Chain A
Amino acid sequence: MRPQRLFRQNELYLFFVLVAFSAILTIINPSFLTFENLFDLIYSGAGTAILAIGVFIVLLSGGIDVSFTAIAIAGQYVSVHVLIASGIDNIYLAFLISCSLGIALGAINALLISIFELNTLITTLGTLNVFHGALLSFVGTKAINVGQIPDSYKEFGSIDIINIMRSDGTSYGLSIYALIVLGIAVMTWLILRFTMLGRGIYAIGGNREAAKRAGFNIVGIQFFIYCYVGFLAGIMGVLAVSIIRYSNPLYIVGEELNVIAAVVLGGARITGGSGSIIGTLMGVAMIIILQKNLVLMGLSSYWHQFFIGLIIIGGVSITYYQNKLRGRKSLAYLKQ
C-alpha cells in the first residue's frame, strides 16, 4: 500500500510543473494569463476532462478502456439523428439518448470483462472496433453540418454562467461546461470516497482476489465502472457536438491516447488502486494547454503526437520507477 502522503506529493509536483509551464507561456505571450484564455481552455477541455474521469475510474480498478471514444461518438451521432428525425428539439432528450446508449454499450464491455474475465485492453479494443464499425455501417457515415444540427445543441453550447464585458462592448464568458465538469468531478469523488462501491473500486484495483474474498461483489462493481464510463462518454458526445456544431461519425475516435495520457500524467497507475481526481484534472489541464500552445512555443502541430507519447512515457516512467525502487527490498517483488 502506498502511503496517502505520497499521492499528495505527486500532485504537488504536477502542480508546480503546471505553474512553471504557464509562467513560461505567459512570458512568451502575455495574453495567455487572461480570464478569456482561461475560460476558453475550460470550454475546450471539458470533454477531455469528462472522458479522463471515466478512464481514471477504470485504471483505478486495474483495467483499461479504449472504447470510450467510440461510445462518445455513437452517443453523439445517434442522438443528433434521433432529434432531427423526431423533430423534438430538446437538449435533455439528447442527453437522455446519448447517455442511455453510452450505458448500454458500457454494459456490453462490462459483460465481457466481468462474466468471461477477459483481458480488458483486448476486449475494449475489440468493442472499440465493433461499436465504431456498427455505427458507420448501420447508422451512417455522413457528417451532419451546421445547418442541420438542431438549435438546442447550439444554444446549449453557448450558455454562459459568468459574463464579462470587454472594453469594446463585446463580452465573453465562462461556459456552463465548467459546472458540468465540476459536478461530475465532485460526484465521482463522493462515490469513490464515501460509498462502499467506491471503496470496492479501490479494492479491486489493489488486489482483485483479496477484494473477492473480502466479500465485494466484483461483477456488480465492474458493471458500475464500465457503465459509468459509458455514461460519461455519452455526456461528452453531446458536449462535443454543441461546441463544434458539426457531427462527423469519424471524429473523436483516435483521441484515446490524449485522454489516457492525461490520466496517467495525473498519477493513476494501470495496476490499479492509486490516483486521485485532482491529479487527473491537472493532467488534463497539462495536455490541453500543451495542445493549444504548441504553435505559440514555436513548434508546428506535427509535434503533437510526439509530445503526447513523450508525456506518457515520462509520466509512467517516474511513477513506476519509484515503485520499482521501493519494491527492490522484497525478493519476490516482480509485478510487471
Chain B
Amino acid sequence: MHDWPTALRIFVIGFSGVFVTLALLMVSILISGSIVKTAKKLVAEE
C-alpha cells in the first residue's frame, strides 16, 4: 500500500542533495572569499 521504494529514493536523494548543494555553496563562499582577499592584497601592494 505504501510506496516505500519511492519514499526511500526521495529520502536518500533529497537529504543528500541538500547536503551536497549547501556544501558546494560553502566551498564557493570560501573560494570567493579568498579571491577577494587576494585581490585586495594585490591592490594594496600596488
Bound together? no
User: Which B residues fall within an 8 A CB radius of A?
Assistant: none
User: Which A residues fall within an 8 A CB radius of B?
Assistant: none
